[in-house]
Chains A and B, each alone.
Chain A
Amino acid sequence: MNVALFVTCLNDALFPRSGQAAVTLLRRLGVDVDFPSAQSCCGQMHWNTGYRSETLRLARRFVDVFADYEAIVIPSASCGGMPAEAYATAAEAAGDMGLVRAVRELVPRVHELTTYLTDVLGAEDVGAYFPHRVTYHPTCHSLRAAPVGHRPYRLLCAVAGIDLAELPAQQECCGFGGTFSVKNAAVSGAMCADKARHVVETGASVLAAVDNSCLMNIGGRLDRDGHPVHTMHLVEILARTWEDGPVPELPLAAGAVAR
């Protein structure tokens, strides 16, 4: 199958291990995944800050790079929602009807990673092994912009050895919000502090989510406060197998069995 990974600019530069995990996992599930190197950024930061002409240019770029793929898989709910959420609106506002058509044609083939796994590949148990205590934060975009519903939980529940702890007040925003985190840093920081406190309350050694942007926010706070909780994109958990064994630097979950 002719499948492209849109890794996202943030993952490319700051969280390459999430992109690598996505490649590992997709290959394991029989997907021949390609990384067209002309890709860059979905334009979300520009869009959310009001810069529509820049978004439009990045939308054109996205359509050019990915038009010929059968599926485009994105390890981020927030970037994954951009083509459907913004591109047509931006193109329409600019009167570029050709782009509107191209976007409409492309959008059904753009998938957030967990949705691709469950809905397109029909997978739930992806053969993962992760014998650690994990809590999951449903990011706002995964709840509302590219709603992935219970898919991440279904995928996580099927992971062998995992000890899943429910995150209190999980539906509340972590305070990232892109440029919000610097424009209104005090409020953002206060929201993040509460989120980090809830994470610590779970006793988990790993905080997982489908957006590294939010994990960077919460992780930045956990790190500042000296809490040894690791943040991991969900795909990094799904990519690990029995052969990999436990993650050496993480404590084993209570009752975990090593083979």
Chain B
Amino acid sequence: MSRTFVGWPAFPRAAAAATQDMQLRSNVTRATGTIRGKRAKLVTERPDWEDLRDSAAALKDEVLAHLDRYLLQAEEQVTAAGGTVHWARDAAEANRIVTELVRATGEREIVKVKSMLTEEIGLDNALEAAGISARETDLAAAIVQLGDDLPSHVVVPALHRNRGEIRDVFVREMGRHGRPAPQGLTDEPAQLAEAARLHLREKFLKAKVAVSGANFLVAETGTVVVVESEGNGRMCLTLADTLISVVGLEKAVPTWRDLEVFLQLLARNATGERMAPYTTTFTGVTPGDGPQRFHLVLVDNGRTRALADRVGRQALRCIRCGACMNICPVYERTGGHAYGSVYPGPIGAILNPLLKGPDDPQTASLPYASSLCGACNEVCPVRIRFTDVLLKLRHEVAEGDAKVKHPVEKAALDAVGAVMEHPAAWNAAVRAAGRVGPLMPRKRLPGPLRGWTDTRNVPEIPKESFRTWWKRTDGGTK
């Protein structure tokens, strides 16, 4: 069994540990800084960038508003093109469907194209339990899999690892799963890529079954679209006999024409490239060319729950470009694992509670994993307003139906609010602050406020508040 996020600690604890890991901090800072810079440069090349974002957001909203229609259309088209469509309500159902499909082929080792959804549903472990080994072929996903690690980024799952660490994983693990790493492997990127190429080529050529996700599903023709940088996806999608694409409900786009909007945005925003090196599209089955059996598994797993949230549903526009995590100052200091999900960073902070409901302490801690600085709002290609959704989700915890509550905080804020609401009480409170000020410890606050003084002093409380000064001096005139 490979590692999972099950039982992960709530964000504050996981994040506090991550901020102490200086190797992790430097890996993440370097990687996000590089991608951020590349993205910023390429985005300014496009004078119509903001218009593209508008179009992308509008298209996704159209799909979400008529999801039933677009999905049924896609199903009809895939079926007409010789494919089979399966519907999965949740992770367990999706895993069962895929496992049975693979079993029916009699294959024991299959290949995978990087897919966040299959990570989300824990497909690898489900297959393993059925005696099927599914090997990742995307370089970063393979690094994570070989190292029995967990993904920390939606575009670059091994973003938290540096070259030296990757070399060590290759040397240690490749031999146990196929062709070993070449003798004398160094941490030169070209050498690492070559080692991965040799190791993976064996898998591509042997595998009869491939599992992929999808970046988009074009409803008008039932076409699955996979966008990638390395060509491993192209190999899986063309060499296998049986292809199983596991796709989230929200991936539909109406027409090919609409695809042009997303393809212009995705690579620039994700990796800072003008266009992704490989964009593979396939529709059902073409006799004599490519996989001769095609299955599309459409997965809900909480997406309709998110869709029911009027503010939160915008999170389903996400095209997994990773820009929000690359720009996020919190993510930069914690890395992705602290979020306890395959979806980290700002999108993880909103999407996980929307998909799962904020009823366990880990998920319920995510909407607070943000300083609300709003940097993510500015880079998201589909204009998700993260801060609006975060506030809505906090409201659900504070005053709504969420099961996890913060009674101490509520009592404190209620008390402050009650004082602030009444002029006389507030006047008295501000005056009192000036009197107790000198008694207050500046380097060690008590109770839940202690975290502040772990690294910061508190300011001295002045003896005279503004309102007292105003009154005493008659508005500064005396």
Contact = CB atoms under 8 A, between A and B. Distances in A.
Nearest to A177: B371
A217 interface: yes
Q: Is the interface of B mostly helix, strand, loop or mixed?
A: helix
Contacts of A13: 430, 433-434, 461, 465-466
A85 to B, nearest CB: 9
B205 interface: no
A180 B465 contact: no
B433 A41 contact: no
Interface string A2-32: 0000010101111111011001100100000
Interface stretch (B58-66, B242-250, B393-401): B393-401
Contacts of B396: 50
A35 B467 contact: yes
B448 A182 contact: yes
A189 B12 CA distance: 12
Interface in B398-452: 398-399, 409-410, 413-414, 416-417, 420-421, 423, 426-427, 430, 433-434, 443, 448-452
Interface in A133-188: 140, 143-145, 171-173, 175-188
B469 A20 contact: yes
B455 A144 contact: no
A51 B12 contact: no
A9 B469 CA distance: 14
A41 B372 contact: no
Contacts of B19: 186-187, 189-190
Nearest to B448: A182
A40 B426 contact: yes
Interface string A211-237: 000001101110110000000000000
Nearest to B333: A190
Interface residues of A, number: 68
Given A7-B466, A187-B334, A190-B19, A52 B395 contact: yes
Given A51-B399, A175-B329, A191-B371, A14 B459 contact: yes
Interface stretch (A53-61, A95-103, A108-116): A53-61
Contact of A220 (B433, B459, B475): B459
B351 interface: no
Nearest to A217: B456
B131 interface: no
Given A40-B423, A186-B12, A50 B466 contact: no
A181 B396 CA distance: 21
Contacts of A179: 368, 409
Nearest to A140: B373
B420 A41 contact: yes
B85 to A, nearest CB: 40
B368 A57 contact: no
A193 B469 CA distance: 34
Given A40-B426, A50-B394, A144-B373, A224 B413 contact: no
A61 B417 CA distance: 11
Given A49-B413, A184-B369, A191 B329 contact: yes
Nearest to A193: B455
A50 B452 contact: no
Interface stretch (B280-288, B290-298, B374-382): B374-382
B11 interface: yes
Contacts of B410: 51
Most buried by A among B371, B423, B456, B469: B456
21 contacts: A12-B466, A13-B430, A13-B465, A16-B465, A35-B466, A40-B420, A40-B423, A48-B391, A49-B413, A54-B413, A61-B421, A140-B374, A177-B371, A185-B451, A186-B16, A187-B19, A187-B334, A188-B451, A189-B454, A189-B455, A220-B452
